[in-house]
Structure formats: C-alpha cells, structure tokens
Amino acid sequence: MTAYRRLTARFARIGALGEAAGMLHWDASAMMPPGGGAARGEQLAALAGLRHDLLVAQDVSLDLAEAVAEGPWDQANLELMRHDHRRATALPTDLVEAVERANSACEKLWRQAKAAADFALVRPALTEVVKLQREVAQALGEALGMTPYDALMDGYQRGVTAADVEPVFAAYESWLAGALPKAEAIQARRGPALPLPGPFPVAAQRELCRAMAQVVGLDFAHARLDESLHPFCGGTPTDVRITTFYDESNVAKALLGVLHETGHAMYERGLPEAFARQPVGEAAGMAAHESQSLIVEMQACRSDAFLGFLGTRLHALAGGDPAPYAAANLGKLWRRVERGFIRVDADEMTYPAHVILRFKLERALIEGSLQVADLPEAWNSGLSRALGITPPNDALGCLQDIHWHDGAFGYFPSYTLGAMAAAQLMAALRRAEPDLDAQLARGDMAPMMRWLGEKVHSQGARLGFQDLLRAATGKPLDPADFTAHLTARYLTD
Amino acid sequence: MTAYRRLTARFARIGALGEAAGMLHWDASAMMPPGGGAARGEQLAALAGLRHDLLVAQDVSLDLAEAVAEGPWDQANLELMRHDHRRATALPTDLVEAVERANSACEKLWRQAKAAADFALVRPALTEVVKLQREVAQALGEALGMTPYDALMDGYQRGVTAADVEPVFAAYESWLAGALPKAEAIQARRGPALPLPGPFPVAAQRELCRAMAQVVGLDFAHARLDESLHPFCGGTPTDVRITTFYDESNVAKALLGVLHETGHAMYERGLPEAFARQPVGEAAGMAAHESQSLIVEMQACRSDAFLGFLGTRLHALAGGDPAPYAAANLGKLWRRVERGFIRVDADEMTYPAHVILRFKLERALIEGSLQVADLPEAWNSGLSRALGITPPNDALGCLQDIHWHDGAFGYFPSYTLGAMAAAQLMAALRRAEPDLDAQLARGDMAPMMRWLGEKVHSQGARLGFQDLLRAATGKPLDPADFTAHLTARYLTD
C-alpha cells in the first residue's frame, strides 16, 4: 500500500468518527433526554480524543513526508491532510487542555453574566480565554506561516485572510453610512405591512416546511426535519439533519429558518461522494457554507418572484383574505431594515455592521491592542459609530454572543463573507440563467440548485474561499454584488 | 498512574465508544432515513475497529500482567478486562475478517431463502458460516479453557455452561410433555375470551405505553420511547431508548411489548454509576437481561393482580362495555397456550420447547455431529417430538430466525434461561414481599423494582449468571420455580 493510500484509509476512519460525533451532536440537540448529557459528554470527548490521536500519530508524519498524489483532487486531499496535521500538531497538549478548561469555565460564567447584564462577572474568565487564544494563534500562525489572527480565521474558513477582508468590510461600512438612511426613508414612504393572520398550527407549519424544503430540492430519503431550541443543520452528506423551532404566532420564523437550513443541507447533499469522509470531500468552510444557506434563504426565497409562489402556498393553507399573502406585503414583512442591538435579529443590510464591529474588536483582542477590560466601552462606541445606537446594557452589547466566551475567535467574519459570496454567486447565476425569476416565481429551483451543485457543492474543499469564488464567478470576493443586491431590494422606490 | 488505573482509563474510552455505537444503532432503527445506511455502516465499522484496536494493544497485555485491584468490585472489573482481552486476542485477524464476510453474505441469502421458503438457497453459505464458527469456538475455547460451544455461549452470557443447561432443559422437556395437554384441556374448558373492541388510535396507545412505563418506574428524564419495526431497548444507562410498534387493531402488541422493553430499560437504569463505561458496570449478560424484561412483562404485568389494574386503565381510555377489560378476560386473551411453528409468537409455556430444539441443534452443528445439509430434517423431527407439529415448509422451520445465518451460535439458550431466572427471582421476591399482589393490583411496582435494583441491577457484571442467581435467590438455576409458576397460571382450574 502506498503512503497516500495508508493516509486515505486513516483519514476515512477519522472522517467516520467525525460523522459519528456529528450524529451524536444532532441527537443531543433534537432527541436526547436531559439526563443523557453527562454520558454524551464522555462519548464526544472519547471521539474527539481518538480523532486527535489518529491525526497526530508518528505514522502520519512519516506517510505525509513520503506520500505522492496524482490528479488535482488527490493532490488537494493530500494538501488538506498536511494542513490538518499541521494544525493538530502545532499546539502542545497542555495548552489544548488549558484552553478547554478556560473555555468551559468562561462559557458557564457568561450565561450568568448575560442573564445579569453584568460584564464584571465574566471579565476575569474572558481575560484568561483571550490570553490563551493569543498563545494558540501565535503557535498556529508559526506552524502555518500566517499572522496569528489569520491562523484563527483559517480554522473556520480556509483561503481568506484579514488582508482580504479588511478592504471589503471598509467599503461596506462607508456604503452603509449613506445607504441606511435612504433605505429607512423609502421604507417609511412605502408604509406599514399588513400583519399575517394567525395562529398557524404547528402540524400545518411542519408540513409546509417539509414541502418547501422539497421545493428547494431536499430528498427526505437522505434527510430529516426535527425540532430544537436553536435551529441548525447537522448529520452527514447522505443523512442530513435539519432542525427548526415552531412558533404558532409567527410562521415566518420556522419557514424562513427551514429554507436557510435547507441551503446548508443541499451543500452537504451535493458534496463529492467519491471523497466521502476525506478532507477534500468536506465543505469548503464556514463562509462557503453560509453562502449556500443565504443564497437560498435571502437571495432566492425572499425575492419578489419566490415570495409570489410562497404567498400563494401560504394563503392556500391559511385561507381568508388573500391581501396579506401578496408578494409585496410579504416583502414588507420579511425584508424590513431596522437598526437594532442584536446581531441574530438583524436584517441583511445592518447585519454586516454587527459582524464588522466584532471582526475589528476580536482582531484587536488577539493582536493585543485592545484589553478585555475595555471591551464594553469599545463595543458601545463602535456600534454607535456604525448604526447610531448605543446598547443600554452589556446583555444587549458585548455579552450577547456566546462565541468569544467559548473561545471562538476568527469565526464572525464568516457570516458576512457568506452573505457577500451569496450575492456574488447569485449575480453569476443570473448571468447563466436569464430566466431565473420566472423559475423562482413558479417554485422551480432545480436550475439554480443544479448550478450551485456544479459550481460549489460538488467542489468539496478542493478550493479555498477566494479560489472557489474565482472559479464560480470569475473574481475573488467583491462586495459590489452584495451592495448592488441591497440597492435593488432596499434603495429602489 | 498504576497499571490498573491506566486500564480503567482505557476501558472508559472503549466503553464510551460502545455507548456511541449503541446510540447510532438506535438511531439507525428509530430515526435514520433510508439513504443514511451506507455511511452508518462506515461509522459503526470505524467504532468497532477502534474498540478492537484499543482492546488488543500491546500495552493492555503488559498492564493486565502487572495490574492489581483492591476490593471485590475492582477485582471483578480487572477479571472482566482480562476476559475481554483474552476473547479479543484469541482470534487471528484473518479469521475475524472471514467470519464477517461469511456472515454478511449468508444473512443476505437467508432473506431470499426465507422469502422463497427454499433452504437450498442458503445452504452453502450457512455451511461456510458453521465451518468458521467451529474454528472460532475452537480458538476461543482454547483461550478461555472451555469447550468450544461453551466459549460461544460465554460471548452472550458469562457464567453458565452447557453442562448447567442440559439437565435443566431436559427436566423442562419431560415436564412439558405432560403439562401441555393438561393446559390445553383446561383452556378449552374455560371457553373463549371476549375480544377487545378496537381500534385503539396510535396517539392514545402512545400515551398509555408511556404511562405504563412510568408505572414500572421509568424516568423519562433519562429515557425515550420511539417507534421501530422490531422493538428493542438500546441507548445507555442514563439515556435509555426503548422502541415499539403500534398496531391500531391490537393494543396488546405495543402495550405488553413496552412493558417488556421497560424491564430491560430498568436494568440499564439501575446499573452501578460508579462503574459506568467499565466492564463490571455493564449488565451481567443476555440471560440476565431477559430475566429482567420477563419478570416485568410475564411475571408481574400478566399476573391477575396487575391485569386488574391495567384493565381499569384500558377501559378508562376505550370506554364502552367493561366486560372485555376484566382481569379474567385479559388473562384469557394474553395468556393463551398454543402449539405453533414460530418462536417469537410462542406463549411462555411452549417458548422453551422452541429454544431447547435450537440449543440441541446448534450445539450439534458446532460439535460436528450434525451437518448443515441435515438441518431441515432434524428441525422438523425435533419440533414434531417436542410439540407434535411439523412445519409445512422451512420458512416456518429452520429458516425462521436470523441468528445462525448471521453467525450467532450460543445465543438461543439465553431466552429460556432468562424466563426461568425471572420465575426464580419472582419466587424469591414473593418471599421478601408477601404483599406483592396487593401492590401490583394498585399498580405499585416500586417495592418490586427496589428489590430487583438491589439484587440484580446494581450488581452490574460483578457476578456470572449462576452466581447472580445464587446471591439473589439462594440457589443456582432451578427450573422448579418456572414450572411452579406455569402450573399456577395454566394448570390450576
């Protein structure tokens, strides 16, 4: 057996353990009774420990040094194996253990601090988390030949650096400063939306959500739709598990949420089967993944064309006066711009402002130019500059997200990179499919999903973020398609 | 760290992988969409392979040779580690792989052979399976110092041998020859049962089954009840997963099935937490497990006392004429003796005859005194001698069970050992709890479950089958308690 074949056998095992862990995570959120938590923790820790052991073993170093791969896919696979191995071996065991302890302690205190809106409760623990993340970033950066912050970003989205992101985000910030007041003025002129009558019984919502996931193309012979407190997409490419949360007074929550998760699910479903459980057979990263949920939810399904289709289906279900279900009214309801404190509730125009603030702050924390003690003040003044509003307390400010308090630095940019990539892919798709709006208007998403399947899903992790965009759209990340999309949707009267 | 502590850390990891596999098995039966099967196979194979690797590693031999344990629990745990290691290292890798291939090929052909009632279709594959199982039995027997067949039985139920089983089964056979015609005559004199009116909607059955599992003592903070084609109990001790299958025309199927699985679940729930994921913290074996499902389902819940309680609950749910729900009528319906071809449909009196036939035949196959080609004839003449009926074809004969066709030899005795142990434990429990019938009549199973918790569940795998019975009832396996139970239930007019 060649060194490369030994490696693919080993990584297939690592991949299978990762799939098992994915299923157990899904189960923990969607199925597990509360008493199962402690044992589940042991199971996941054992799986993570064994994956790490398999990845850092001496044999892997020897085989990686010797291995030769033929063809672009196997070459990319081998490169990713080297990359994974480098990341896994860069950190000394005692640092990894200190990080796990610090993250776990901080996350618990964060829950109390957020509930009490008292940053002081979590400040010492977060200071320790940041200190350790700086060490992690330093060590990973040296091993990978990257700046420390780029090495953290690389853990979530390979193939894009802070130097790529910074001008893109800066351009967006200055565009938004002019665009947001205009969008608000236009919105005010358009007048209020008619509310949707309710309630929508859960059973009917469940059927509608399933039907809409099928409209996008999800095959329930390879998928499930269940319920969990925080909706997500998990599972494996041949067995995707999406979840949602039903609110009888607000059908949009589950419906648009399921369309979002179905975008993620379709990416998983379309990954190259020939490289299942190999590094190159995985998705290209978090930003690439978010581009697929957002192109389905935000670009396609909130378009006028698709809202016409969706409104007809909704009205058929609910009956009564058809007026609230007209596409124009659904657009007013579901495409409302609003300056708010909370990222996860933000509309697509202000969402990037929340992300850009976090990107600047977390980068400064990692680079050492911002101290944890100064975070609340930096947050509040940053939000005030970006959106002209100041959080009345830290629960609505720097305590709102779990990420940093659980040691996740370098993740936030992915959300906005995904949104921008979705717009860029949509613009390229519109060039390839001039009839797209007519297709969406009749609920025909097959041509769109075929194009995404070819350009994104089936590419696996062969290309990094910028290269994937280049191959699919002819250029690296360019915020112009995103601002053009927002201009058409929010700034055109 | 001492050698023993190194071993407990390793076996905790092995145990956690086993729990993960258990959850994935449950998911495959109760949740997984059909398209997930192939990937699930990869995940389970990776987990099984890693568990095996962890168990046979050179370090384990060295630590087992050096380890010293203090106290009866740790000593028993160390002994079980040695036993597991001996079993895992006894078989050469090429034999294990040949067995897996042969079992998998035979199981597929068996499905066709059973559907076509054509033994010839599976005969060559089964011949190969038996040949390999004889090699396995030989190798395990040498490693463990047991006869070959005992070494196979040991894989399902430690601490009982064919020499223990043979006289017990022989005594039952001769008792049954006289008892069965008498039971049939008494049953005929008692006249037919009133049928239960139906249908019972699935939602109502589900609620009733949940309520009855709670009556037995199952805490749904640590358990789930779901649906699968073949009901079973899976999961882990702090997160037990039982399943059932609802038939709206026959409420007894799910109801008695759930009571059976709840008996299994209560065993898992009661295992010693201090030894979670250690060999000594597991159940004592398949026969011990079956004793716990049968003492709940057959001994307690089909008793006149509990049927009175259950009938009242059922009638409250269904309404209408109360007569069919009287305890005496439910007894006629759910305790009906009948000579049949199919083991899984058999009543508690004739069930052992099916098992004893299989025990004799599988032992003869392993010892070489019976050839696969002669199996159908041996089966049919054996059933004819035992129950006076002859299967009209092999689908109703030697093709009915999957076990042998999937390489499981030595398993069948566990069913009847479990039934007999259940009666023996019930007799001891009745001595300890003279008010048992009054408790059951009001649906109070707490004293019974407390006693089983103390005598069986909390003992884990500290004792083998015979020793467990000795400690709980004062004697090793004795079929007299089982025949006394049957005499009281079926032979007393």
Q: What is the pLDDT of residues A440-473, one digit of tens each?
A: 999 999 999 999 999 999 999 999 999 999 999 9
Nearest partner of A271 among A263, A262, A280, judged by Cα: A280
SS (H, E, C) B247-292: CCCCHHHHHHHHHHHHHHHHHHHHCCHHHCCCHHHCCCEHHHHHHH
Secondary-structure percent of chain B, ordered helix, strand, coil, rounded to 5: 70, 5, 25
Contacts of B454 (CB under 8 A, 6+ apart): none
Contact between A262 and A216 under an 8 Å Cβ cutoff? The reply is yes
Q: Which DSSP category does B300 fall into? A: I
**For chain A, percent of residues with pLDDT exceeding 90:** 98
ipTM of the prediction:
0.94
Q: What SS3 state is found at B243?
A: strand
Mark whether A248 is an active-site residue. no
pLDDT per position as a tens digit, A97-134: 999 999 999 999 999 999 999 999 999 999 999 999 99
Residue B190 to residue A266: CA distance in whole angstroms: 63
Q: How far is it, in rounded angstroms, from Cα A126 to Cα A130?
A: 6
Instruction: State whether residue B244 is helix, strand or coil.
Output: strand
Contact call for residues B462 and B280 (beta carbons, < 8 A): yes
* Span B216-270, pLDDT tens digits: 999 999 999 999 999 999 999 999 999 999 999 999 999 999 999 999 999 999 9
Beta carbons of B339 and B180 less than 8 angstroms apart: yes
DSSP conformation letters of B212-227: HHHHHT--TTSEEEEE
Contact B241, B222 (CB under 8 A): no
Provide the phi-psi class of A337: left if phi over 0, else alpha when psi is between -120 and 50, else beta.
beta
For residue A477, the distance in angstroms to the closest alpha carbon of chain B comes to 35
Q: What is the pLDDT of residue B320?
A: 94
| Mean of pLDDT over chain A | 97
What is the pLDDT averaged over residues A8-13? 97
What is the per-residue pLDDT for B47? 95
Q: What is the pLDDT of residue A301?
A: 98
Encode burial over A16-52: b for 16+ CB neighbours within 10 A, e otherwise: bbbbbbbbbbbbbbbbbbebbeebbebbbebbeebbe
**Cα angle B289-B294-B296, degrees, rounded to a multiple of 5:** 105
Distance set, CA A463 to CA A1, A155, A387, A467 (Å): 27, 15, 35, 6
Strand-by-strand arrangement of the B223-227 sheet: B223-227, B239-244, B233-236
Q: Which tokens sit at A451? A: 């194009």
What distance in Å separates the CA atoms of residue B325 and residue B54, rounded to the nearest whole number?
A: 54
Phi, psi values for residue B239, rounded to 5°? -155, 70
Q: In this structure, what DSSP letter does residue B193 have? A: P
**Chain A residues with CB within 8 Å of chain B CB:** 12-13, 16-17, 19-20, 23-24, 27, 31-36, 38-40, 42-43, 45-47, 49-50, 219-224, 235-239, 276-277
A473 within 8 A of A427, measured Cβ to Cβ: yes
| C-alpha–C-alpha distance, residues A330 and A310, integer Å | 9
Residue A369 token pair: 């130019």
Could you give the C-alpha distances from A233 to A210, A266, A289, B208, B346, in angstroms and in order? 14, 10, 10, 33, 45
Which CATH number is associated with domain B150-493?
Answer: 1.10.1370.30
Q: Is the pLDDT of residue B44 over 90?
A: yes
Q: State the pLDDT confidence band at A323, using cuts at 50, 70 and 90.
A: very high
From residue A14, alpha-carbon distances to A21, A64, A277 in Å are: 11, 16, 8
Comparing alpha-carbon positions, the chain B residue that sits nearest to A240 is B36
Alpha carbon of B242: minimum distance to chain A alpha carbons (Å): 12
pLDDT band at A382 (very low <50, low <70, confident <90, very high): very high
3-class secondary structure, A244:
strand
Among candidate residues B297, B292, B320, B291, the one with its CA nearest the CA of residue B310: B297
What is the mean pLDDT of the segment spanning B96-113?
94
Residue-wise pLDDT tens digits, A278-294: 999 999 999 999 999 99
Give the mutation candidate from B19, B23, B227 for the A interface (greatest A CB count, under 10 A): B23
- DSSP-derived secondary structure letter, A241: E
Q: Which residue in A19, A261, A268, A348 is the catalytic one? A: A261
CB-based contact B251:B196 (threshold 8 Å): yes
Q: Which sequence spans correspond to the domains of chain A?
A: 3-99+140-154, 159-493
Nearest Cβ partner for A43 among B20, B38, B43: B20
Instruction: Tell me which chain A residues have a C-beta less than 8 angstroms from the C-beta of B57.
Output: none
Q: Over the Cα atoms of chain B, what is R_g?
A: 23
> Minimal CA–CA distance to B176: which of B359, B351, B422?
B351
The C-alpha atoms of residue B9 and residue B3 are separated, in whole angstroms, by 10
State residue B148's pLDDT score. 98
Confidence class for position A493, pLDDT limits 50, 70, 90: confident
Task: Measure the CA angle with vertex B437, ends B428 and B219; round to 5°.
Answer: 85
> Measured between alpha carbons, how far apart are the two ends of chain A, in Å?
66
- Chain B residue numbers touching A40 (CB-CB < 8 A): 239
The reported pLDDT for the residue numbered B55 is: 96
Enumerate the residues of chain B whose CB falls inside 8 A of the CB of residue A49: 13
Residue in A445, A448, A453, A456 with CA at minimum distance from that of residue A429: A448
Q: What backbone torsions phi and psi does residue A119 show, to the nearest 5 degrees?
A: -60, -30
Residues of A in contact with B235 (CB under 8 A): 36
| CB contacts, 8 Å: A13 with chain B | 46, 49-50
- Amino acid B198: pLDDT: 83
Cβ partners under 8 Å of residue B417, min gap 6:
B157, B160, B165, B287, B290, B291, B465, B477
Above pLDDT 70, what percent of chain B? 100
Distance from C-alpha of B238 to C-alpha of B269, rounded to nearest angstrom: 6
Put simply, the answer to whether B43 touches A20 (Cβ < 8 Å) is: yes
Q: What is the mean pLDDT of residues A245-273?
A: 97
Q: What is the CA radius of gyration of chain A?
A: 23
A406 within 8 A of A103, measured Cβ to Cβ: yes
In the predicted structure, residue A198 carries a pLDDT above the cut 90: no
Q: Out of A17, A34, A220, whose CB is closest to B33?
A: A220
In tens, the pLDDT along B151-160 reads 999 999 999 9
Q: What is the CATH number of domain A159-493?
A: 1.10.1370.30
- pLDDT level of residue B46 (50, 70, 90 thresholds): very high
**What is the pLDDT at residue B280?**
98
Tell me the nearest-neighbour CA distance from B240 into chain A, angstroms.
8
